[in-house]
Amino acid sequence: MPWSGSPAAVLADLLGGPREEPEWFGPAVAAVVGGSEAVLAAESPRALEEATVALVGAQVRRAVREHGRGLRFDWWYAKVSEALAAEVREDLDRGGDNWVGPWRLLHGLAAIGTPALASAPTGSIRKLSAAVARAGGASQPPWLRLVPRVAPGEVWLLRDAYGSRFGIIAGLSSDKSDPVVFLLDIDACGPVTVLNAGTYADVSESAAAWRSFAGVSADGARPRRVETADEVAVLAYADYDDNILHGGESDSALDNWFRANRRLRDLSDHFRRRGTPLPRPRSLYRDLDTEPLIEDFTAWYVDQHDAKPDTEAVAAIAYEWIEGALPGTWNAVSPHRVRHLRAVMSDWIDDRVTAAAHTLIPDWVRWHTEQSDLPEQLRVLSFAATDGSHDRPDLAAPCAP
């Protein structure tokens, strides 16, 4: 799979990146515009969103898996909006009737993009609306004007037994006739990442889908209604950045690249309007206090082995364990988190401390399973993740063992 680039390449992209339009832009824009007739079958805001996501998502997937770096999705989104607006304008000028698909797709883009991204299609809709009205705009479905107005209502939360996998379900509707829920499947075993996303008919269906995504650790999870933003603080840390894509993301994550970002923003706005804003995210890489972990693990280790562990090795593991970790997940010890720890440690300098730290991993995992009060079946899975080579595991591997 193509990796998004070395640290130097990523930094170059962030500071300005390639000066020329990426080569994948043109074909991808043309594919979306050329496929715009597909949205004509949509008969509701939800159906139009889904058709838009399918068209746009196919190009996002192709870009990530075939090009990998310097993707510039925000810029490409604006290019798609410009091309669709041009298609509508030119067809109206010719007196044609092929403008309807691009016109409706502009509404779809306005619905799935963040406010910054949606400004381009929204602006085009506003500028073209008079010409569209003269050309037969009255024949357009009434629900079309509702498409960009979809907003969250009630929110539900699921969390797996390990404590590092979250399912957040937002009830959405543009009007009472077209209710839908949106699922964000978020993993916090390493960097907080949206692993899967999509719309479902109701809470029950989306909860079942999330349990299927998360695996055995989510078997007993049931959705509960969220009352305060603190319960879903993970949302404040979940963000997309096309500089860290690796090509192994799920189809649903890539298809919903733009819409998931929109829903994350919608949810943040939703809690702010309720007077309970999401907690302000703090750096997960600075001012880390490892002393409580070090002291508690050392006491447990002495009790188990009647000897002290290597002090430097424990300190090194503790720092790596909580660096970048979501607050409230210090004892979360899923197999994926164990693999992530080993992956990071595989880049350590090969010295005495590193060797000692590797020998401590089984005890480290066992201690955390006891702190988490996990059922035996899940303890076994976590402990099994300590076996095998110390070579770098796949950081993109799914949470489930």
Residue 311 CA to residue 357 CA, distance in Å, equals: 10
| Cα gap 280→268, rounded to integer Å | 11
Average pLDDT on 35-56 reads 95
Beta strand 224-225 with 151-159: parallel, antiparallel or unpaired? antiparallel
Residue 68 scores a pLDDT above 90: no
Tens digits of residue pLDDT in 250-270: 999 999 999 999 999 999 999
Q: What pLDDT is recorded for position 19?
A: 62
Q: What is the pTM of this model?
A: 0.90
52, two tokens: 């838009």
Higher-pLDDT residue of 373, 56: 56
The band of 227, judged by pLDDT with boundaries at 50, 70 and 90, is very high
Does residue 239 surpass a pLDDT of 80? no
DSSP 272: H
CB atoms within 10 A of CB 87: 20
Question: Residue 396: its pLDDT value, please?
Answer: 47
Instruction: Please report the pLDDT score of residue 6 as a whole number.
Output: 35
- 211 contacts: CB under 8 Å, gap ≥ 6: 158, 167, 218, 219, 221
pLDDT at 62: 95
- d(CA 211, CA 196) in angstroms, rounded, equals 12
Q: What is the pLDDT of residue 179?
A: 77
- The rounded percent of the chain whose pLDDT value lies above 70 is 88
| pLDDT band at residue 242 using 50, 70 and 90 as cut-offs | low
pLDDT recorded at residue 303: 98
Q: Please give the pLDDT value at position 139.
A: 77
What integer best gives the mean pLDDT of the chain? 89
DSSP state of 347: T
In the chain, what are the domain boundaries? 19-145, 151-274, 290-323+333-385
User: Which pLDDT score, from 0 to 100, does residue 319 have?
Assistant: 97
**Confidence tier at 172 by pLDDT (50, 70, 90):** confident
pLDDT at 5 over 60: no
The pLDDT, as a whole number, for residue 127 is 96
318-337 pLDDT tens trace = 999 999 999 999 999 999 99
Q: What is the DSSP letter of 384?
A: H
% of the chain at pLDDT higher than 90: 77
Residue 289 or residue 5, greater confidence: 289
Range in 303-307, 339-343, 397-401 with the lowest mean pLDDT? 397-401
CB burial string 346-383: b at 16+ within 10 A, e below = eeeeeeebbebbbebbebbbbbbbebbebeeebbebbb
pLDDT band with cut points at 50, 70 and 90 for residue 138: low
What's the DSSP call for residue 341? H
Alpha-carbon distance 44 to 174, whole Å?
10
Residue type, 267: L
Least confident of 12-26, 54-68, 213-227, 316-330: 12-26
Q: Where are the beta strands (DSSP E) in 144-275?
A: 151-159, 165-173, 180-187, 193-200, 224-225
